Structure 1
Amino acid sequence: MNKFFKRMSTAFLAVTVAASGIFVSPKVSLAAGEPDVNANAAMAIEASTGKILYKKNSDQLMGIASMTKTMDEYLLFERINNGKLKWDDKVTISDYAHEVSQDRTLSNVPLRNGEKYTVKELYEAMAIYSANGAAIALAEKIAGSEAKFVEMMNKKATQLKLGKHKFVNATGLNNSDLKGKEQVGSKNDENQMTAQGMALLAKKLIQKYPDVLKTASITKKDFRPNTSDRIAMSNWNWLLPGLIYGRKGVDGLKTGTTDYAGMCLTATAQQNGMRVITVVLHANGGKGKGSHNSARFDETNKMLDYAFNNFKVMDVESKKAAVKNPATIDVSKGKSGTADLVTAEAAKLVVPKATDKPQLDKKVILDKKEVEAPVKGGTEVGNLTIKLKGGDNLGYIDGSQTAKVPVVTKETIEEANWFVSMLHSIGSFFSGIGSYVADGVMGWFN
């Protein structure tokens, strides 16, 4: 009998250990902890939704160095898009742009004083090689002077709601590097933004002008090939495939380096249908291990790994789906007293990668309780807010805490003719009388 119980105990222990092994198996899908990003500030977002995946000191104003040129690109593409500038337009190089371009201790392609270059040549030099003289030349072409261009930069940053910012030049250099020709601010001023502002600018630039990635992803290109001015340009974003720290899916966006700003990088990568944007300001933060040159790429990789390993984008509501609570909106003076409500577009959420059927909190918020006929189908009357139950508190890049989808009327409600309007009025009158009488009768018994 003792041997029997001993054998049974051994068998039970083996089963228990095996079972416990099931629960600690590394195959179980558990989200990894947030990365420890060694930088003064950092942020990671999903591009299509603006969902914040990671942030560190994201609202602190810091130097951004040559990441400034993403704002240059936004203003340039805006001019191209509205027809005020063309890629083959000529730009005459000023004394100022020429002098800055001759300093090869800075990122530059040497430009000839008084020579004409195309907008596209200068743009590619700026976007690929971070050429500072080229950035000044484009600023002067767009605004007439760098000072006026800086006004445009600050105005656009406010318009785009990028948060705290300070632009003093078009390059991102310290003003002391501008050969005594700084036009805005003091001698040692530099451009500043927050990590959140940089991430939002990158999101808006990529979504509105996606062609920017065609140039940002170029690893190597000759400036003025087949001429005596030829310069072999290599992209400073070494995360691009084929370069030193090449990573699959990376196709942008912009590096930046000054003594004040440190090693900075705004990067973007796409994988399995999800695009992530990351920002690193002053990688290493003056401490920690790692090569000074590799730091911004190492820290960016931490955020990209975290994003792609733990999250995915999921459709959670279809376009023209009926909403609830309320499902309709009141319509005055219409042939129908109500209009059905539907979503204007599909809704997406960023969810943990193992999620199959997310539990959602949905809420319809109408701008007003009633609309007046005639009401066209597709008229926006409010929003449907959607969030994961028990979700995180990081929110979205625009400051909201939920995803939002416009709610619109499903069908057109035409204005009622005079007869129908009269009947509605009579009905309302007698309804009011009925309520009055009912209230009076109830009063007899009080």
Structure 2
Amino acid sequence: METIILAVVIAVVVIAALGGLVVGSRKRKQLPPPPPAAPDITAPPAEPHVGDEAETPREEPRRPLEEVDLPDGSAGPSVVVEEPPAAPQIEIPEPTAGRLVRLRTRLSRSQNALGKGLLTLLSREHLDDETWEEIEDTLLVADVGVQPTQELVDSLRERVKVLGTRTPAELRGLLREELLKLVGTDVDRTVRTEPEDRKPGIVMVVGVNGTGKTTTTGKLARVLVADGRTVVLGAADTFRAAAADQLQTWGERVGAHTVRGPEAGDPASVAFDAVKEGKEMGVDVVLIDTAGRLHTKTGLMDELGKVKRVVEKHAPLDEVLLVLDATTGQNGLVQARVFAEVVDITGIVLTKLDGTAKGGIVVAVQRELGVPVKLIGLGEGADDLAPFEPAAFVDALIGD
């Protein structure tokens, strides 16, 4: 009996020992838990999920508004506020009064050859037929024209014969009188822009390509603004892309509104709209710049006549100014004849008169068209367009 009990006790002890070994081995094989990861400061905070409890707010003392430091504007980048673009500065053109007198030196620099040549010939001791022929040649080279030259020489020969003695002062006075008579002092050279019965005055500017027609229109706007007039410009030269831009630039410089149409559009439509807007705005003058036409293109010249007819549905034209390049001489007369047949020219603008010694074209073109030279261009400056004054012009021809 004791032997059985002892055997049972030994078996229990053995089983308990084996169980301890198994449990111990399992505990030794279990890996330690990983250390907690450091928080990632770059990662965004986790989004809350449904059911998550909101964090209990921490109790912190609140600061009154008086203790909060407000920014004084000195720290941190300042906000730059862009200002709207400034409006184009309006220029104040030079007054027209006495403008030709101011430009007289420039004019005489190119024209003095004519006057000095005539005075030199007239001062010879013996005025024979050969000398008078030289005088005629001098006048013809200056583009005075055949008929006016003959009239001048005949009158000079008669007066010199009667005068007898010829001092330099007498000869100069004699030549001045005859040239003034030839240029004409009793002609109205006013650019008509103020009709008595309506407003605005309407002026159309015509001429072939290359004469400075668009530039002349812009300069004429400056002349009118300098005299206190308000102006609308009509860019009816739709066949030359730069013409409308150029005219608008001239207008912006003096505050004149420019009416323009699509490129290659109908010039007559632009001219019509310009007069219409000029009426609505109540301006004093509407200036219409037309396309430069070669006088050989009959169809285009007919179109110029159409512009004139369409404009006159509003009101009659007050001025049709023909722009001629003084350096072209007698060729300019051919152009002038064709334009005169299409539209009724009322005045002439001679450009580049300071760049030629052929000042006699003033006489020739007036005789050819029967209309006066009203404006002359004496340079490329914005204010180098001046009203034509016969006395100042003749004085520039013969010098002081």
Q: TM-score range by the shorter chain?
A: under 0.3
Q: Give the number of the structure whose residues are more often strand, by fraction.
A: 1
TM-score by length of 2: 0.23
TM-score by length of 1: 0.21
Q: Give the number of the structure whose residues are more often helix, by fraction.
A: 2
| Larger Rg belongs to | 2
